[in-house]
Every structure is written in structure tokens, then in C-alpha cells.
Amino acid sequence: MISNKKILFLTLYTFSLTGGIEKVCRSFSKVLQDLLTERKISDYKVLSMYDQSPDLNYVDQKSYIGFNGRRINFAIQVLTSGLHSDVIILSHVNLLIFGWLIKKLQPKKRIILFAHGIEIWEKLSKWKTNFIRKQVEIIAVSKYTALKIEEVHQLQANKITVINNCLDPFFNNPVSFEKPQELINRYHLKEENRVLFTLSRLSSDEQYKGYDHVIEALAELPEHIIYILSGKADLNEAQRIKNLIAKNHLQQRVILTCFVPDEEIEDHYLLADVFVMPSKGEGFGISFIEAAACGCRSVTGNMDGSTDAILNGALGQSVNPHDKAALKTVILDEVNSNYNKIDLQQKCLAAFVYEKYKERVRVALVN
């Protein structure tokens, strides 16, 4: 039984950023809150190093502390709470030092590390690798990440549990798949336009998402196909993208929206004919399952964890992101495909609905 277990969940960011890891942290925090309500654990705490206020839809105020960057205070509270918890879960490899310290003080504590993607695909410092091998359990968000960890860090497969990410428990799954007229008007779209859509952080430090390859492929695709590229960009990356658009004479066919507020994300998926992100660095890719929940198939890369998110082809197609000819072919195929959006949504929900994720987490914590 897990009913007597006390869980400590350590995060860097949970509510103040909107990336994939932060979405995982929010859903996992909600799982802990629900397990407490259902009396399947006796207590939990979420400690966030850089956040301040929580979203109380996901956590109880008394179970959450945000330290707003006060690292020493965070460290003291981690050690205090860790010594009174049964299971310590680290949301990121950069928090491994705290697991190591707690384990030094109380060797019987159970340490679990979330493994998302590129942060753990490469070699780590020797002490981290040794600690992970000997004393840490892993929750990997995809089969690819699990295999990569086994290969790079020489971990035994039985120390790794694969739990795919889920749709946010408050994600609004649409019941109608009509394209929103307000966005059609905003972006001056015509009836004949077909829309490719990418939603991603646009960072000069993370140039692996593949949107630059989409821009290059778009130049050789029919002119009625336009590309909406959304996400907050740093100055260097914004300039690089604009230069690439100009170089390919696509100023009238690529729309840069910058940040899209949460309340408009579903409508952008509904507007899209294809969600396109041929990345080579996705640990999983929550955007792919959000798109599918809105009846939109995806084009992903085939060199990372994206294949889990599209159910190995059931929710989209994978392609070598460096093969422009293949990317063009797959995009055209998806743009011209005729599929049942309700069926696509149901396949997505059957695999990635929050309630199933909660049960998988519960089982992992029982072991």
C-alpha cells in the first residue's frame, strides 16, 4: 500500500514558464494532489526553486512552496522536508545534488528522477552518473529517452520506467472542429489556404525544433500553403528566422505570431491543417498530443521521442528532419489527407488522457 507514503516533489519551474517540462511538472503536481485527496498517499509537498505563487487548480496552497530564486532557502527546506519524506522525486537532472545529499543523510530514502530529453541524453559528470546508476530510479517520458539513458549512462533497463506525458488535466478537448473565424480574419486567410502550424519556444540555444527546415521546405510547396510559427523568440533567433524567411521570399506565407496565450492555443490547433515540428531533440513532445486532441495530425522528426507522442504513426507521420525532399512529401501528404478528426481525437485521449497518466504514476510509486 502507498497510503502511508509521504512524497516530496522538487522542481525548478512549474507555474511561471510554459515549456514542456513545466507542463509535466504541473500535471504531476495535480497527480499528487489527487492521490492525497483519494487517500492513496498520506502527504506531499511541491518545492519550486524559481516559482513564486502556485496555480491552485493543481496544488493545495499548504502543500506548495515557491522560493522565487532564493536557492539557499530552497536547499534548507529541501533537506528538512526530504528527511521527513519517503519518496523524493526530482523533476530535472539539475536537482540531482539534492537527492544525493538526502541519500547521504538517510540512505534508505527512495530517489526518483524524471528524464525528459536532451538534458540527460549526453554524458554527465562522473558523480552524477555513478549516483544515478547505483541509487536512483528513472521515470523516462518516452521509449527513446529510456533507450538513450541505457546507452549513454549504462543503466539497467529495470531501473527505468517509461511513463509518457499526458494532456494537461484542464486541457479543453474541443467537441467541434470548425476553424475559428476570428483567427481566419486575424491572419487574413483565404478559403483555399492550408495552414501549417508550429508552437515552440524559439531559442538560439535550442535550434533543433526543425521550424527552419519547414520554412525551407515551404518555399517549394504550393503557394496556397501558409505557415504559422508561434512562440516567444529571443532576439538572435527572431532575426535568424526573419532572415531565412526573406532569403526564401516567404514574407507573405510565413506568419510569426510570437507568444500565444493559453486561452488561444486550442483555437490555433483547430485552425491548423497540420501541426509540423520535425525536431531532432524532443524527449516526447506534448504539443503533438495537444494537436491530436484538437483533431490535427502532426509531422514530427524521426530522431527523438516524438514517435511515442504520435503513437508510432497513428496520430501523424515521422520524417528525417534533414531530408527536405522527404519533409515536403510528408507535409503534402498530410495537407491533402482526409481523415476522421473525431477518431483521431479518441485515439489520442485513449492513450494520453490525464486519468490514465495518474494511474501509471500511482503504480510506479507503489513499487
Q: pLDDT tens-digit profile of 141-176?
A: 999 999 999 999 999 999 999 999 999 999 999 999
Identify the pLDDT of residue 366: 76
Looking at the chain, list the stretches that DSSP marks H as alpha helix, in order from N- to C-terminal side: 20-37, 71-82, 96-105, 118-121, 126-135, 143-153, 181-186, 211-218, 235-247, 262-271, 286-293, 306-309, 324-335, 341-352, 354-366
pTM: 0.95
In the predicted model, is pLDDT for residue 94 greater than 90? yes
Identify the pLDDT of residue 367: 61
DSSP assignment of 96-129: HHHHHHHHHH-TT-EEEEEE-SHHHHS---HHHH
What does the block give as the cell for 17?
514558464
Set out the domains of the chain in order of their start, with CATH numbers. 6-163 (3.40.50.2000), 181-351 (3.40.50.2000)
How does the average pLDDT of the chain come out, rounded? 95
Q: Which H or E run contains 276? A: strand 274-277
What does the block give as the cell for 47?
518545492
Q: pLDDT for 197-217, tens place per residue?
A: 999 988 888 778 999 999 999
In the predicted model, is pLDDT for residue 271 greater than 60? yes
In the predicted model, is pLDDT for residue 327 greater than 70? yes
- As a whole-number percent, the residues of the chain with pLDDT over 90 amount to 92
**Which residues does residue 228 pair with via DSSP β-bridges, in sequence order?**
197, 255
Q: pLDDT for 31-72, tens place per residue?
A: 999 999 999 999 999 999 999 999 999 999 999 999 999 999
